[in-house]
């Protein structure tokens, strides 16, 4: 009798907790940086710039074989970047290559989303593939400045592309 009651009480508790999702915990998934990331419908140049840089982060993370989140946590300061590179055995050239690839990926995503004129995108890709090392790192690691407003990104690209009419980079006139 006592043993039967103990078994029943234990089973009831376990079944209720299982039914309430006790065994179904999964952490919020972290997206695969190599998978295509849909651009949401942007409403401002700032949103364009933000999505551009998040795509760049995806591309660079994919190239390095880490998550976008790991790279985001590693980029803010030189110290965190060095620590990240040392932990993963990545040299400067590999990091720079990855960031260049990230910028190219962002241009591809922007073009796929119809946010960048295809002709301009082609030109930007050519430039990004040969983006000077310091500019490439600066573009990603200094993303905070770029996030301040869309003109931050435009200024940076403008510095690289002095002869391009930046008004046509994003199809917003």
Partner 1 sequence: MRVSRLGLALAVAVGTVLADGSIVVLALPDIYRELDVSVSAVTWVLVAFNLVLALAAVPAAMLARRVGAARVAIAGLIVFGAASLACGLAGSIELLLLARCVQAVGGAAAVCASLELLPSVTGSERRAAGLWAAAGALGAAIGPGAGGLLTELVSWESIFLLQVPIALVCVLPLLGTARAEGTEAALRAERLPAGRPHLAANAALALVSAALAAALFLVVLLLIEGWRLTPIAAAAAVTAMPISAFCAAPLTDRVPEVGARAASGVILIAGGLAGLGLLPDASVALTLPPQILVGIGLALTLSALTEAALEGRSPQAIHGGWTIASRHAGVVAGLLVLTPVFTADLDTQRAQAEQSGIAALLDSGVDPSSKLELANRIADQIAAEGDKVPDVRPAFDPLPEDPEERDEVVELRDQIVDEVERAATHAFSASFLISAAFALAALIPIGLARRRTRELEL
**Virtual torsion, Cα 19, 23, 24, 28, nearest 10 deg:** 140
CB atoms closer than 10 angstroms to residue 78: 10
Let me know: does 156 contact 139? Beta carbons within 8 Å: yes
Residue 61 exposed, middle or buried by CB count within 10 Å (0-12, 13-18, 19+)? buried
* Shortest Å distance, C-beta 15 to partner 1: 10
Output 27 or 173, the one with its CB closest to partner 1: 27
* Shortest Å distance, C-beta 45 to partner 1: 12
Residue 147 corresponds to which tokens in the numbers above?
């996030």
- Alpha carbons within 13 angstroms on the beta-carbon side of residue 152 total 18
CB atoms closer than 10 angstroms to residue 42: 19
* Shortest Å distance, C-beta 108 to partner 1: 19
* Shortest Å distance, C-beta 91 to partner 1: 22
User: Which has the closest alpha carbon to 74: 153, 134, 137?
Assistant: 137
Output 94 or 149, the one with its CB closest to partner 1: 149
Judged by the rule CB under 8 A, the positions of this chain that interact with partner 1 are 2-3, 5-7, 9-11, 13-14, 17-18, 20-23, 25, 27-31, 46, 49-50, 54, 57, 67-70, 72-73, 75-77, 80, 143-144, 147-148
Output 69 or 92, the one with its CB closest to partner 1: 69
* Shortest Å distance, C-beta 98 to partner 1: 17
Output 101 or 153, the one with its CB closest to partner 1: 153
Output 22 or 132, the one with its CB closest to partner 1: 22
């Amino acid at each position: 009798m006592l043993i039967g009651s103990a078994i029943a009480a234990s089973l009831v508790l376990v079944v209720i907790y299982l039914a309430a999702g006790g065994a179904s915990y999964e952490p919020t998934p972290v997206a695969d940086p190599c998978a295509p990331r849909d651009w949401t419908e942007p409403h401002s140049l700032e949103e364009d710039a933000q999505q551009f840089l998040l795509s760049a982060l995806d591309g660079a993370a994919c190239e390095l074989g880490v998550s976008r989140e790991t790279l985001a946590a590693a980029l803010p300061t030189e110290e965190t970047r060095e620590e990240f590179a040392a932990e993963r055995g990545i040299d400067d050239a590999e990091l720079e290559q990855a960031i260049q690839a990230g910028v190219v990926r962002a241009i591809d995503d922007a073009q796929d989303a119809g946010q960048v004129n295809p002709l301009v995108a082609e030109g930007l890709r050519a430039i990004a593939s040969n983006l000077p090392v310091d500019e490439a790192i600066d573009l990603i690691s200094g993303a905070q400045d770029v996030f301040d407003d869309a003109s931050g990104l435009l200024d940076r690209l403008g510095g690289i592309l002095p002869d391009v009419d930046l008004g046509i980079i994003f199809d917003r006139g």
